[in-house]
Structure 1
Amino acid sequence: MDERDTAAILPDVDDELNAPSTDDETTGNKEEADATVPTSRSVRPPLRCSLPVSVEPVLFLSMFSLALQAPLSTQYLWDRISEDLGYNGSERAECSNGSVPPDPLQTEVETLTAHWNLYISLGGFSLGLLVVPFLGSWSDLVGRRPVLIIPNIGLALQALVYILVMYLKLPVVYFLVGRLLSGLSGDFNAILAGCFAYVADTSDRRSRTFRVAILEACLGLSGMLASIIGGQWRRAQGYINPFWLALATNLASALYAYLFVHESVRPDPSAKLLTSRHHKAAWHLFSTGGTTSEMGGRLHRSKLWLYTLCFFVVVTVHMGSRELFVLYELSSPLCWGPALIGYGSAAQHLAYLSSLLGLKIMQRCLEDSWVAVVGLASNIIGLVVVSIADTTQLMFTGYGLCFLSMAATPVLRSKLSKLVGPSEQGVLFACVACVESLCFLVGSGVFNSLYPATLHYMKGFPFLFAAIILLIPAGIIGLLQCLDRRRDHRDATAS
């Protein structure tokens, strides 16, 4: 008997208590009941981590490794391609002089680096797009810990391949081999799926948005530290030693998950990884609205799709534009060195922490939807400033204006989680992880192609484009909130 069959014979009252609501806010006795009952699978024992933290260190260490590698690998590609083409433009005095016409050789280096970033990203994330749904849905049956361990081992193998490329001066195409190994193991998106599903397993509806925001703050804190350390370390000792640290942190993350993370799902020994059941569960969730679709009918299913679309657009902008920041900073008129690039990357990741604080404050007087809209407005304004930045001061001003830019994603994850039943949390976050993989693919493809194509007339156009398309999720979230408020007012008036 599988878990779904077991869940079907449990008392109806348990399902009634755990049933999610299509609205974000509930009142009276229902709110108190939801706040005290974790939305975990009905067959899941109430396992709680005895430590003050659960999966936060796993996400922190994994993100530290990723944030340490990402800007350094782009800089390494820039240096290797520059060396092959005989370009040393960053050392020229006129590099920061905006009146000097762009060097054709610099444009070629920028274009090749952007294209190699695209190829490497596409290789890894295309495999992850296939593997992550299997791992995410599989974790709903066998537990979250395997999905936290396996991808970290794959990321460690990727770091090892990168080290070999640097030691032996191998062609940069071998970077693609490392990304493929990581993609086969689920990549970082599988870790995200496991961690957020774990939080959904062990949190109640009232606290879930903030718990998700804490996880995202872990992303920001680790990314900020890794960016500062990576920039200074690369300037002092080159590229190889920081990648050894990335390798060690991935192994430490896997070891922590194995030793200390308490399982939140009762494992099913008969569960299989390679089965069509995982994709069928995902199809059922989005085609019918899941087991709770009868509560809201077509509107319920529409909200599931619309919030997923908003999440897709927001994450695509975040990931796509982030890959261009290093290129934008390396070239004229900014011409930043490793230290400034590290500080710039740290400023980007600081938005995770400031968004967490802002979300906590704004939740006192605003509903979650309006918190997300404010976060998107902050992101839009910051990207517009970055698009015209031609000095270091203006660039950091753009980063500063993005201080609430990460407030939207935890709200959207929480909204999606509240739209599905307790037995569908794992399937949902498998789908969200799949969407994130698609975001990496689309973001890398669009922005790495758009950047070299617009160099000649507006270097910052991709950031302006990103700001414009963020108006789409802001409008959708605001519209859905207004419709919910109108429906609640109509129901209250009718009663």
Structure 2
Amino acid sequence: MNSDEESLYDPEAAEETTQVLDATTIGVRNNGDTPSTATAHSSKASSSQDEETASKDDVPISTDNTIYAAPRRRWFILEPAVFLVFLAMYLSGAVYQNQVLYQTCVAVYKYNESDCQPLLGVSRETKEAEEIETRVQPYVARILMARSLLESIIPAFVSLFVGPWSDKFGRRPIILATYTGYLTGCIILTILAFIATKVVISPWLFLLSSVPSVISGGTCALITGIYCYISDVAKEKARAVRMVLNEASLLAGMMFGNVLSGYVYAATNVVTVFAISALLMLLALLYVFIFVVESLRPDQIHTGSKIREFFRFDLVKDLVHTCFERRPSYDRAIIWLTMITLTIALFTMEGDSNVTYLFFRAKFEWTLKDYTLFNAARIVVQIIGSIFGLILLRKVLKFSIVSMTMLSLACCVLESTVRATAMYWWELYLGMILGGMRGIMGPMARAILSHVAPPTEVGKIFAFTTSLESLSPLGAAPLYTTVYNATIGFYPGIFNFISAGLYLLCFTLIAVIYSIQKSLGNTAAYQAIGS
């Protein structure tokens, strides 16, 4: 990867763009110098030879001549850790749902273990097993809904503190905390699965595996930390590309997790699958601990009690004020339209994920392997679509960031519509191809935020956005679960029409931004998102 995009202490990069996401203070606490000068030369009297040496060695020098020990070259590559954590999540995701189906069947509905065995998804179901699953699924949907609510309420609250806190104490502690939470959750899940092989336990106990990641901020804190980290280290022109690369790593982890899930599960057992997920989480945590360095400079990191500072409500008040304050032109409108778009899009994705697997089983009688292969193919198509969008549409045909966001949302509308009307399994693959560019929606929308918002406020806005996104399952899980349970007997795929309508609403919101940009494209920010 280009070192210009990854080297933190690069004086030339510091002069081109100051990407310090400080939500609480701006500048460096050293005689009034700005962040861009903190990594430059120690004084104006320094010779050109000294300046060249400082630049080459990447040693940050403050105005008080204190030299911070730093490596010659620092690389800021989070993608391997992102790949590993999502590989672990999706390796165990569908297996988790099957295990909950099975435990509900034997523990709640008191069927024999032999009658419930087909619900594990390894083999095709008999007619009797299909009738059992039809009875069990609504109860399981409520458990999955409770899981979604648990993983959204607390992380949404925590995320309000994560952004301002990471501006003061760094991004790395946030990323380490979330990875530790995921690892602990996988260990608990493995232990519960082992106990379930010995005695019958309630399916509700599996919710305990979500507690550690919820307390550490969950996906909400992880996404906030990652995107703030990228905004810290990437140049302005490379920011959208870095965000897409991060999304590609995420999708690749999901793809391999989905592909391997069914085969590993069929060859081993549920305990082994969860144990492998825990091992992958451990590797991800070790990678972050050993290789990922702090993106903020030492002189930007505050001292004091990190725990006490985390729960300062005045920082949250300042965060909210930043998101609602009046801005020049239509900046505030663009920021809010983009945040609402991201929130509605995640609302739709969360609702889909709660019932899609159940829908595929009920409508097309798919096994776990069928479902995981479909998801793997879908992710491959999204990665290819993202590469196609970046190279051909963005680089060659010069599509703007806003135009790319609209195109990706149009793909989402098409895929959901085809799913809603599908009568045969191959139509699901047709919808997948039509939705091939949906993967660039999130990175491009966040790129809009990073360009329109001032550099010192991007961290707060990202944190507030992820909080809104985390709250989306509060409405999505009950809505989609209720609709699915009400229509499972005559039209189990009707929830896809809801998804298509919501994606169409998102498309309309971004179209408003496109109109604003075309009408008032005379500022640097508007030119950036329109070019």
* Cα offset, 1:355, TM superposition: 3.5
Name the residue aligned to 1:148: 175
Name the residue aligned to 2:455: 422
Change in 2 beyond 3 A, CA 1:379/1:303: same
1:268 and 2:302 correspond = yes
1:235 and 2:257 correspond = no
Once residues 479 and 48 of structure 1 are traced to their aligned partners in structure 2, the CA distance between those partners, rounded to angstroms, is 46
**What is the TM-score of this pair, normalised by structure 1?**
0.84
2:27/2:33 contact within 8 Å kept: no
- The total of aligned residue pairs comes to 450
Q: For 1:403-448, what per-residue CA distance to the aligned partner results, in whole angstroms no more than 9, with x for missing partners?
A: 1112211111111111222222322222222122123433323222
Counterpart of 2:282 (choices 231, 244, 251) is 251
Name the residue aligned to 2:135: 108
Once residues 151 and 79 of structure 2 are traced to their aligned partners in structure 1, the CA distance between those partners, rounded to angstroms, is 25
Q: Which structure 2 residue ranges, 5 or more long, are not aligned?
A: 1-23, 38-61, 525-531
Once residues 153 and 394 of structure 2 are traced to their aligned partners in structure 1, the CA distance between those partners, rounded to angstroms, is 37
Name the residue aligned to 2:52: none
* Cα offset, 1:119, TM superposition: 0.8
Once residues 203 and 475 of structure 1 are traced to their aligned partners in structure 2, the CA distance between those partners, rounded to angstroms, is 30
Name the residue aligned to 2:344: 313
Q: Aligned partner of 1:314: which letter?
A: A
1:279 and 2:316 correspond = yes
1:488 and 2:525 correspond = no
In the TM superposition, 1:95-494 aligns within 5 A as 103=131, 105-169=132-196, 170-265=201-296, 266=298, 267-270=301-304, 271=306, 272-288=309-325, 293=327, 296-297=328-329, 299-331=330-362, 333-360=363-390, 361-364=392-395, 365=397, 366-488=399-521
SS at match of 1:279: helix
**What is the TM-score of this pair, normalised by structure 2?**
0.78
Change in 2 beyond 3 A, CA 1:152/1:220: same
Q: For 1:100-144, what per-residue CA distance to the aligned partner results, in whole angstroms no more than 9, with x for missing partners?
A: xx84x4332121111110012212221211222222321111111
Q: Aligned partner of 1:334: which letter?
A: F
Change in 2 beyond 3 A, CA 1:446/1:246: same
Q: Aligned partner of 1:350: which letter?
A: V
* Cα offset, 1:369, TM superposition: 1.2
RMSD across aligned positions (CA): 2.9
Name the residue aligned to 1:54: 77
* Cα offset, 1:276, TM superposition: 1.2
Change in 2 beyond 3 A, CA 1:484/1:184: same
Q: Aligned partner of 2:451: which letter?
A: K
Indicate the larger mover: 436-445 or 470-479. 436-445
1:369/1:477 contact within 8 Å kept: yes
Name the residue aligned to 2:92: 69
1:144/1:198 contact within 8 Å kept: yes
Q: Aligned partner of 2:98: which letter?
A: Q
Q: Aligned partner of 1:345: which letter?
A: N
Q: Which structure 1 residue ranges, 5 or more long, are not aligned?
A: 16-41, 97-101
Using CA pairs below 8 Å that are at least 6 residues apart, which structure has the higher relative contact order?
Answer: 1
1:307/1:477 contact within 8 Å kept: yes
2:91/2:273 contact within 8 Å kept: yes
Q: Over alpha carbons, which structure has the higher Rg?
A: 2
Q: For 1:58-77, what per-residue CA distance to the aligned partner results, in whole angstroms no more than 9, with x for missing partners?
A: 21111112222222211111
Indicate the larger mover: 469-478 or 340-349. 340-349
